[in-house]
Amino acid sequence: MKMYLDICLEHVKYNPYTRQISHPKFTAVTNKKLFDFYITVYEKLPVKAALTYATLTKNKPLKEKLKMYKSVMEKLDGMTKIFDYFLNSQWIYEHKMADIIW
């Protein structure tokens, strides 16, 4: 795992984002169930697999880091659910000055 992190850091050091050719790929997901599926497959399952690996190999530092990462992910998920209405719905802020300006 350490070797993989070292390779990633070396790549970022010598190839910063401003010098990379391709743009990051993203897809807008409008279906909530599909979004939850993507989050589960790409974020939650790898963490569970890594936690299982750390538990089986008794790698305590890796296990502590993964527990911290998992708690951060859960907090972000909670924050996303709090602001879900504002992110996915259209809401209108009404103000008297807005009517005058338009």
Cα–Cα distance, 74 to 19 (Å, whole number): 33
pTM over 0.85: no
CA–centroid distance for 38 within its chain: 11
Spans in the chain with pLDDT lower than 70: 1-2, 8, 11-12, 14-27, 87-95, 97-102
Give the amino acid at 41.
V
Confidence at residue 53, expressed as pLDDT on a 0 to 100 scale: 92
What would the pLDDT profile of 77-102 be if each residue is shown by its tens digit? 888 888 777 766 666 666 676 666 66
Is 66:48 a contact under the CB 8 Å cutoff?
no
Q: Report the amino acid identity of residue 26.
A: F
- CA 10 and chain centroid, separation: 22
Q: What is the spatial distance between Cα 58 and Cα 52, in angstroms, rounded to a whole number?
A: 10
